[in-house]
Amino acid sequence: MDRPPTSLAGYFDSKFAANPDPWRYRDSWYEARKRALLLASLPRERYRMAFEPACAIGALSADLARRCEHLVCADFSPRAVAAAQERLAAFANVDVHALAMPRDWPAGQFDLIVMSEFAYYLNASDCTSLATLAASSLAADGTLACCHWRHGGETWMLQSAQVHGIFAQAAANAALHAVVQIEDTDFLLDVWSRDRLSVARRERA
């Protein structure tokens, strides 16, 4: 595919129609390891209000739900939303919505926002809007995490390095502080925070 699809929701819905777990969230060691590293990179043990756009079938969401008082998940694929709602039904603190990013960005502030393997499906303009919305929607003690696969995908997709560059600029513009930067063989992981203190220094404060 040389051109982006006319509808990203349709593109992803067709993926989930062909295979209910097209990226092997349930049985891939890559996915399990990546989630563990992302979760370990979050500087706070607990969060009040979190937002995870492009939650897919809710694999990461289930782990985030255990560390958040309230988690808002979203996806623009109807099949993904239905799968996530089923998977997360046991968590009373989780809401799953059908939202298209960045157009349907929710109002309010969050003390955790997680962008996982999603932003490179957008064009550069929409990715910049997404990054700006995320950085500007963080609470005073908020955390922004960004994680993306490094080996490319469709020819029309952005590269992970470009995506993380866009988010790094948005983080700098919002005066966020770098917490974690991981250049894994398979993925990039960046975490920023409004809090200047490191985990150890916060415990000693």
Domain boundaries, the chain: 8-204
What is the side-by-side strand order in the sheet with 94-98? 94-98, 68-75, 47-52, 110-116, 138-149, 187-193, 177-183
pLDDT single digits (tens) 182-195: 999 999 999 999 98
Q: What average pLDDT score do residues 52-73 get?
A: 97
What is the number of alpha carbons within 13 Å of residue 97 lying toward its C-beta? 13
pLDDT single digits (tens) 10-50: 888 888 889 888 889 999 999 999 999 999 999 999 999 99
Q: Average pLDDT, whole number, for the chain?
A: 93
Q: What average pLDDT score do residues 169-179 get?
A: 97
State how far the Cα of 146 lies from the Cα of 116, in Å rounded to an integer: 6
Q: Are 34 and 187 within 8 A, CB to CB?
A: yes
* pLDDT value of residue 45: 95
CATH 3.40.50.970 fits 8-204, yes or no: no
Q: What are phi and psi of 122, to 5 degrees?
A: -90, 160
Residue 1 clears pLDDT 60, i.e. is over it: no
Q: What average pLDDT score do residues 72-90 get?
A: 95
Q: Are 2 and 156 within 8 A, CB to CB?
A: yes
Beta strands in the chain (DSSP E): 47-52, 68-75, 94-98, 110-116, 138-149, 177-183, 187-193
State how far the Cα of 81 lies from the Cα of 176, in Å rounded to an integer: 31
pLDDT single digits (tens) 97-147: 999 999 999 999 999 999 999 999 999 999 999 999 999 999 999 999 999
Going from the C-alpha of 55 to that of each of 80, 99, 124, 172, the distances in angstroms are 8, 11, 21, 26
